[in-house]
Amino acid sequence: MVTGMGVLSPLGLDLASSLTAIKNQESAIRYISAWDEYKTLKTRLGAPLPDLSLPIHFDKKRTRSMGRGALISTLSAEMALIDSGLIDQSEIVQGGRLGIAFGSGTGGVDALADMTRFITEKTTRGMSGTTYHRMMSHTCASNIGIFFGITGRVIVTSSACTSGSLAIGYGFEAIRDGHQDLMLCGGAEEFSASIAAIFDVLFACSVKNNEPRNNPRPFDKDRDGLVVGEAASTLVLEEYEHAKKRGANILAEIVGFGTNSDGYHITTPRLETVQKAMELALSSAGLSPDKIAYINAHATGTMVGDVVESNATYNIFSSATPISSLKGIMSHTLGGSGSTEAALTIGMMREGWIAENYNLDVADENCAKLDYVKNECRDFAGEYAMTNTFAFGGINTSIIVKKI
């Protein structure tokens, strides 16, 4: 069961404001003038978090081992614990039956830069006793655990775009198999020109820099790439009887999870295994495709990814199931995307609507003829939704949630 959610997205600094921005068609995409100093960087589009003020108890002593990504991860985890009513329940939080599954695409960028200077300039200038703790791949998960005194198992899911969704899936399995009663599950990514540059040199970023509100364009024939953003989102997953006993407010239920590897190419997705991940989630949930009332697509706006994903989806669902991508309005929040989009999907289900494909005017003829939600939001009519994420390295995930 999902009993708490904490969302920090480019659309807003909580779940409610993020959902409102989607309904009001308020794009988070901005022209990033600070990137003008990077002369060979072609994209100038990005979606950082709105201005963020940390609570006073996030003081220097408690956050010295945190980079930006770990900071926003820990804040989203606190929001989720508050939402679940667990923030003051130390016997539960610190008793060993609450675990963590969390990941990000990379560690702290500033700390990585300090380490890089040692290699390129042969000097430890800029390095400190916390450099490694801020740059390590498990910095988000470990800092969450230390900040709240969590003593349960820690599962690190630093797997690029599937970091957050893989965390939810592994947290779901940890509870299902009796290893934990509760799991804090999520993912994050901090905003950085260096992360944009990774996709820029792959010709995967949108470079229509004078049109921030009109890009990216998932599934659209005029798309030219993704826009990177920043997010951190955490879900509290809880075993049903445990949640019932303490009188928790149940927001939704995770009922299915599928994950696999393309085993094919580091950046090019494979239709057969993308399709298989969705089929695994359906099998896990014991559901037929017609039971899914909405699909939250990964669709980032890249030329190859959208085509593969749409056709894999069509092979299972035909054109019967409404589908939309949130990235046209929110950006691609990378390690934060899986958990953020899962939380937003749950939020939409609870409010009874589903988002449109922002910036989708005319679908690419190479994309499958799916039921793309266009022009305005649509009513959610059903019990179940699927949310998908697919990552570099060929890691695929699919999650099915049930409306409560």
Task: Name the nearest CA neighbour of 386 among 302, 312, 296, 320.
Answer: 296
Does 271 have pLDDT greater than 90? yes
pLDDT of residue 272: 98
Task: Name the nearest CA neighbour of 292 among 397, 173, 162, 381.
Answer: 381
Of 161, 185, 205, 367, which residue is the catalytic one?
161
Average pLDDT score over residue span 63-81: 97
Confidence (pTM): 0.97
CATH of the domain at 214: 3.40.47.10
80 and 126: one domain?
Answer: yes
Higher pLDDT, 134 or 141: 141
277 and 393: one domain?
Answer: yes
Average pLDDT score over residue span 221-225: 97
List 391's β-bridge partners, or say none: 395
pLDDT of residue 278: 98
> Would residue 331 count as lying in a domain?
yes
> Would residue 251 count as lying in a domain?
no
pLDDT of residue 129: 86
Average pLDDT score over residue span 117-137: 88
241 and 263: one domain?
Answer: no
237 and 269: one domain?
Answer: no
pLDDT of residue 287: 98
Does 127 have pLDDT greater than 90? no
306 and 191: one domain?
Answer: no
Q: Is 298 a catalytic residue?
A: yes
Question: 3-state SS string over 181-193?
Answer: CEEEEEEEECCCH
- Give how far the C-alpha of residue 48 lies from the chain's centroid of Cα atoms, to the nearest Å: 14
Total count of domains within the chain: 2
> Would residue 305 count as lying in a domain?
yes
Does 315 have pLDDT greater than 90? yes
288 and 154: one domain?
Answer: no
Of 185, 205, 298, 367, which residue is the catalytic one?
298
pLDDT of residue 125: 87
Percent of the chain with pLDDT over 90: 93
pLDDT of residue 58: 96
265 and 336: one domain?
Answer: yes
pLDDT of residue 242: 98
Under the banding of pLDDT at 50, 70 and 90, the label for residue 379 is very high
Average pLDDT score over residue span 184-201: 97
3-state secondary structure of 199: helix
Which residue range forms the structural domain that includes residue 139? 2-245
Spatial distance between the Cα atoms of 350 and 354, rounded to a whole number of angstroms: 10
The DSSP 8-state label assigned to residue 75 in this structure reads H
The mean pLDDT value of the chain amounts to 96
> Would residue 250 count as lying in a domain?
no
> Would residue 180 count as lying in a domain?
yes
pLDDT of residue 195: 94
Under the banding of pLDDT at 50, 70 and 90, the label for residue 121 is confident
Average pLDDT score over residue span 146-167: 98
pLDDT of residue 67: 95
Query: The tokens 């706006």 sit on which residue?
Result: 301
pLDDT of residue 131: 83
pLDDT of residue 31: 98
Q: Is 133 a catalytic residue?
A: no
335 and 291: one domain?
Answer: yes
Spatial distance between the Cα atoms of 297 and 259, rounded to a whole number of angstroms: 15
List 323's β-bridge partners, or say none: 295, 372
Give how far Cα 401 sits from Cα of 20, 284, 290, 382, 398, Å.
21, 12, 14, 11, 10
189 and 303: one domain?
Answer: no
Does 99 have pLDDT greater than 90? yes
212 and 268: one domain?
Answer: no
Last-in-domain residue among 245, 270, 285:
245
Under the banding of pLDDT at 50, 70 and 90, the label for residue 132 is confident
Last-in-domain residue among 245, 265, 296:
245
pLDDT of residue 367: 98
Under the banding of pLDDT at 50, 70 and 90, the label for residue 110 is confident
Under 8 Å between Cβ of 76 and 188: yes
Of 133, 138, 332, 367, which residue is the catalytic one?
332
pLDDT of residue 93: 97
Does 20 have pLDDT greater than 90? yes
Does 261 have pLDDT greater than 90? yes
Q: Is 161 a catalytic residue?
A: yes
> Would residue 367 count as lying in a domain?
yes
213 and 294: one domain?
Answer: no
172 and 117: one domain?
Answer: yes
Last-in-domain residue among 215, 245, 275:
245
